[in-house]
Structure 1
Amino acid sequence: MSSEKNTKKGKPDSLLNSHINELSLTTRRGFLAAGVAASAAFYMPDGIIAETKPSDNSNKSTGNFTNNMKSLLKNVDVYFPGDENYSLFLKSLFSAEAAHNKPSAIVCPKKHEDIMQFIKIAAENTLRFTVCGEGLSSLSVQTDMLCLALNVHYNKVAVVKINGGVFVKVQGGSKAGDILAHLNTYGYHIPVGVSPLPGLGLIMRGGIGYLSRSEGLTCDYISQVNFITARGDNFLLDAHCIQKELWNAVRGAAPRFGIVSEVYLSVVPGTKVALSRLVADTGALKNWLEYSDKLQEGISASLVLGSDSAQYMSPVLYGCLVHQGSDEKAVAELSLVQKSITGDVKSTLLEDAHRVDYTEIPAFDVPLRDSGEFGDDAIPIVKSYLIKNSIIKNMSAVLLDALRTAPNQFCRIDLQHIGGKVRRIKNGSVFCGRDADWNIVVTGFYYTHSSPTEAAQAIAWVKNIMDQIKTAVISVYSVEIKNNTPETKDELEMAFQDKLKFLHRLSKKHDPLNLLSSYPL
């Protein structure tokens, strides 16, 4: 799960170490499809991609506010259109769509009190805004809205001891990779998603990764949240707080109610796992899905169906097998799995079962046998649904046919293995779909310069797959739900089910002015 400082320029995506010899093309495509809050296109009713344009009906008070911004927010960095830092900030965003938007101003808080003051001003002046944690989501920056950029300064991580327990305290602009790296030096970890790049947006809404089956979701480790609602109320939320409804809601749907200023997460001792990786012919998929039913919950068997060529579509199955344990017994158990899970289909081991640091798991992406340009302006169309293996294992032909007919070689289908402990945790969070066996992430790509036909092909490819596997779907992973698409309403209903009305009621209570209405709910 590894990453680099600069994935925008075509470097490999590795958490602490790079794997340049193996990942000759940027693994940006891998992260964008990893089921985290990646950027995605939005739809017009006729299915054509909408161009980003300044709105004609932006709040007139925004201009007055931005003109006096620095006097209202003392000692806070504020970037305006035309400023060098304004342009540099947008260029630094991972989401190409977000980077093309034009916020009215970018506000960069340095401490909790700065955020409180910003919310006070926004509420008093009815100013809509977005929150940018790591800039991965297309929703993190919107044209004609203020952008609260937590990631610029407000991103500290610290290990703390409270009442004999060990926790990691993270500020709102922190990212998963930095949290893991810091914990690693103390001999701890938390289960996170398959990429180091996401921020608290992913952590608050789930966090599906290699250790989910054995340890649960990342959001299951949240012990306390310092939360500021869109109306300016500041609450310390935990299992014993008076605001129990809000405590349950932020663990699954936080962005719609306010700002996550700080989070305390409980940690897990240890930093090592057992790992095996392989590449096989796509014909191995059927046996892979069948065999996964036999796995103990300490082992996950996530996979990617994609191309091992950057020049043309060359379908393969990339498998990443992870054992929660790291002793000789765990390595032996994983070795047995790697020999059996592909059946009689030929496979090539990239790494035999061995002990490795959790932070050094390579990027969740198909290793490439050639090189090519992916491009910084690639726009992913992402759908992330939670599905049952009992049904999807009989649909392997559907997935393989779809891969062969993908509009380009960067399209991919990920199956992130869950189940196990995730099923047994009952902590009141609004995360639904705990009975799922897989998080299926289907990603099609087009470019900002693509024709409407090319963009429509990428959209149709993703949607057609989801339509064909709908009988296997039990929920939607909310991190990939976008506003203003034909399926937004249905996806919200699937994601939150009988809790949706409850969430609507809370959003009216805590965001009565709809300052955060750009986030779907």
Structure 2
Amino acid sequence: MPDIQPRPGDLSSCLRDWSGPTPVLVRSGGTSSRSSDPTLWSLDLRTHCRELQLSDDGCRVRVGAGVTMAELQGHLSPAGRSLPTGLSGLPGAGYLLTGGISPLSRNQGLAIDRILALEGVWGDGTPLSLTAEQSTSADGHASDAWRGLLGAAPFLAVVSAIELSTTPRQPLHIARALVSPETLAEWIQRAEDWPDGLSLQWFWAEQIEILLVAIEADEASVQAWAACLPHLARLPGALVEQIDGIDVLPRFGSLIRSPHRGGPVSTEVLGLLAPAWGMATPALINAAREVMAQRPDPGCALASQQLGGATARVPSAATSFVHRQALWKPWITAAWPVGDPAARQRSLAWLMQLRNQLQPHCPGVHLAQLHDHLPWHGWELEAAFGDWLPGLRRLKEQHDRHQLLPGL
């Protein structure tokens, strides 16, 4: 079905008068598998929700929900400002509203921790305009509405504009190299003791690529970075360089990804959250290796980002991202050729097989993509929101009583 391209002022009447199929989907960056479902209607925010306004001092930015993270960083960098965005510039507001994990999150926090104000409409069409200042009490307790929107907004509302605090753009030291599963386990264990300005990411497909990112201005992290260099130098394909900021980070996994593939591909991505793995790391990686050897499609992959530090210093009740003590975010990508249902079934079965191997050490879920169309949606919601899920369901009953948006 076709997309609807509403202007911000039309969103309220659009939802109040909705008579089409449900759930109503929202497209901002378009990286979610659900954003292009041919059986449902999408509110495409990429045409008319494109505001970009930086404050005079550069410390605040107002961004329309249809702006991608690459476009946002491109607007900020000439002013010497930045945000802790992720490993891809393609996502839109969904990145900001569902958590927003970055290689800089250990030092600068999650994207939702930088949100100052939100505008849009609730699922029932009621106008929405909230600020962090108005929504947080003197003792730091967030209102349920504010907490719900920070991390679970796609279930409750259509956000058209977001205001965020920015940081100075910072030079980074980065390194990439290829590793074996055994060596990956060693790097994971090493990284769990790193200071907050240094993080480890890894991408595992046919081979395994690691990515280290260190903030140049963080002295402790630079020292830890320097201690890594002798180990890096012995790795195949090692590349060590300095870049001007997170906005020019090389494409994640580019050392091992094939640049071309013969035809369009569909994907589903399941994000997990985990505490420190410690001494369990070698066994976990070995279990993953067995399943990785059975990948049904070249696009099937396992990757991870590192958390901790600043992300753990925010109370779990402050936002809908409740897993504040998580140190790792592994995510599993299932891929298959478009229009091949048998291949889709094989890849999704493989995804669940790998998830079952990881789950004892990865109890949480990060809902960066919505899966209300898949069988695992129920346990995924429980794993993502835990004891806060009943509170989110009360908010949904209050603000999306006709269940127009994806279900909780």
> What is the TM-score normalised by the length of structure 2?
0.90
Distance 2:274 2:355 in 1: 11
Distance 1:327 1:476 in 2: 30
Q: Is the partner of 1:414 in helix, strand or coil?
A: strand
Of residues 150-159 and 388-397 in structure 1, the stretch that sits farther from structure 2 once superposed is: 388-397
Measure how far apart 1:331 and its partner are.
Answer: 5.2
Measure how far apart 1:143 and its partner are.
Answer: 4.2
Match of 2:210 in 1: 319
Of 381, 404, 408, 1:515 maps to 404
Matched-pair contact (CA < 8 Å) for 1:172–1:261: yes
Measure how far apart 1:140 and its partner are.
Answer: 2.2
* Aligned AA (1:398): A
Measure how far apart 1:116 and its partner are.
Answer: 2.9
Distance 1:210 1:358 in 2: 8
Matched-pair contact (CA < 8 Å) for 2:151–2:319: yes
Write the deviation string for residues 269-288 of structure 1: whole angstroms up to 9, x where unpaired: 12422211112233311211
Q: Name structure 2 gaps, 5 residues minimum.
A: 136-141
Map 1:90-105; keep pairs closer than 5 Å: 103=1, 105=2
Match of 1:489 in 2: 378
Distance 2:254 2:66 in 1: 29
Write the deviation string for residues 78-113 of structure 1: whole angstroms up to 9, x where unpaired: xxxxxxxxxxxxxxxxxxxxxxxxx2x422134x21
Match of 2:326 in 1: 436
Of residues 461-470 and 233-242 in structure 1, the stretch that sits farther from structure 2 once superposed is: 233-242
Match of 1:170 in 2: 63
Match of 2:225 in 1: 334
* Aligned AA (1:282): P
Q: 1:145 to 1:470 in 2, by over 3 A?
A: closer
Match of 1:60 in 2: none
Q: Is the partner of 1:302 in helix, strand or coil?
A: strand
Matched, 1:505 2:402: no
Measure how far apart 1:340 and its partner are.
Answer: 3.2
Measure how far apart 1:444 and its partner are.
Answer: 2.2
Matched-pair contact (CA < 8 Å) for 1:279–1:319: yes
Write the deviation string for residues 420-475 of structure 1: whole angstroms up to 9, x where unpaired: 111111271111211111101111211124352x3322112111111112111231
> What is the TM-score normalised by the length of structure 1?
0.71
- Provide the aligned length of Structure 1 versus Structure 2: 398
Measure how far apart 1:333 and its partner are.
Answer: 4.0
Distance 2:395 2:360 in 1: 31
Distance 1:135 1:371 in 2: 21
Q: Name structure 1 gaps, 5 residues minimum.
A: 1-102, 308-315
Distance 1:273 1:188 in 2: 14
Matched-pair contact (CA < 8 Å) for 1:155–1:173: yes
Matched, 1:265 2:161: no
* Aligned AA (1:297): D
Matched, 1:448 2:338: yes
Matched-pair contact (CA < 8 Å) for 1:189–1:268: yes
Measure how far apart 1:389 and its partner are.
Answer: 2.7
* Aligned AA (1:213): R
Of 202, 212, 215, 2:105 maps to 212
Match of 1:356 in 2: 244
Identity among equivalent pairs (%):
24
Measure how far apart 1:372 and its partner are.
Answer: 4.2
Distance 2:4 2:116 in 1: 28
Of 35, 38, 63, 1:140 maps to 35
Distance 1:126 1:478 in 2: 25
RMSD, matched Cα: 2.4
Map 1:82-481; keep pairs closer than 5 Å: 103=1, 105-110=2-7, 112-122=8-18, 125=19, 128=22, 129-143=24-38, 145-161=40-56, 166-241=59-134, 244-307=143-206, 316-326=207-217, 333-340=224-231, 347-368=235-256, 372-376=260-264, 378-390=265-277, 393=281, 394-426=283-315, 428-450=318-340, 452=342, 454-481=343-370
Matched-pair contact (CA < 8 Å) for 1:109–1:148: yes
Q: Is the partner of 1:364 in helix, strand or coil?
A: coil
Measure how far apart 1:388 and its partner are.
Answer: 2.1
* Aligned AA (2:269): V
* Aligned AA (1:406): R
User: In terms of Rg, which structure is larger?
Assistant: 1
Matched-pair contact (CA < 8 Å) for 2:266–2:337: yes
Match of 2:139 in 1: none
Distance 1:369 1:460 in 2: 23
Q: 1:130 to 1:381 in 2, by over 3 A?
A: closer
